[in-house]
């Protein structure tokens, strides 16, 4: 099932499968992959709401067991937010000076395999010089910064003859895996409910 969701989420679905099956008499994997097979179950909508609640409680418990990792992630997110703000100011200033538009698109369709990606975890004169050079040679800059809780994690796409992405490096952390799975699972569960409504 990993083609429908990430490998980590696949592991979480596997761990939740037996509990969901015994409690609700349905397969979580089947609900997420083919919700219409439950269309005849008149209580399926209530079951889905309860399953979503159980999934989130389970993921809360998993995060609760990762206290040290959660603290480390929080510290890293604070640092990443600060770097994001510094780089954002520099990109905005440089783009304004050279008349390069900075946009905040919903998405940018591109061949991501051709991107040159630069991960940064500090800002020094060399980093700022790179930002200036990339901005100057771009047709436009797409600000694809995302949030982790209240923290901004910077990602900028510089479109030109060669495409570049500058990304603030958020250090790998198991809590990010759990939270990424939470997002995926909630979206999949909501999607299943919508399909069954239709």
Q: What is the pLDDT of residues 39-58, one digit of tens each?
A: 998 999 999 999 999 999 99
pLDDT at 1: 47
Angstrom distance (rounded) from CA 129 to CA 123 = 10
Could you tell me the CA-to-CA distances from 11 to 1, 8, 19, 178 in Å, in that order?
A: 10, 5, 14, 11
Q: What is the pLDDT of residues 108-122, one digit of tens each?
A: 888 888 899 999 999
pLDDT at residue 178 is higher than 50: yes
Which residue in the block uniquely carries the two structure tokens 């994690």? 153
Non-local (6+) Cβ contacts of 123 within 8 A are 83, 86, 87
DSSP state of 160: S
Q: What percent of the chain has pLDDT over 70?
A: 98
pLDDT at 73: 94
């Amino acid at each position: 099932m990993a083609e429908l969701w990430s490998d980590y989420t696949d592991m979480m679905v596997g761990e939740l499968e037996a509990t969901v099956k015994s409690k609700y008499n349905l397969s979580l994997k089947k609900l997420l992959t083919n919700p219409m097979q439950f269309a005849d179950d008149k209580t399926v909508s209530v079951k889905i709401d309860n399953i979503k609640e159980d999934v989130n409680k389970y993921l809360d418990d998993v995060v609760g067991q990762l206290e040290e990792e959660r603290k480390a992630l929080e510290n890293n997110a604070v640092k990443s937010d600060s770097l994001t703000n510094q780089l954002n100011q520099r990109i905005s200033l440089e783009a304004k000076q050279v008349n390069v538009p900075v946009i905040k698109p919903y998405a940018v369709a591109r061949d991501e395999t051709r991107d040159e990606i630069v991960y940064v975890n500090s800002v020094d004169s060399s980093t700022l010089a790179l930002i200036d050079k990339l901005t100057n040679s771009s047709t436009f800059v797409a600000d694809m910064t995302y949030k982790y809780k209240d923290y901004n994690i910077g990602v900028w796409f510089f479109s030109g003859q060669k495409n570049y992405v500058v990304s603030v490096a958020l250090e790998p952390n198991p809590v990010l895996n759990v939270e990424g799975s939470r997002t995926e699972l909630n979206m999949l569960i909501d999607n299943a409910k919508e399909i069954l409504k239709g």
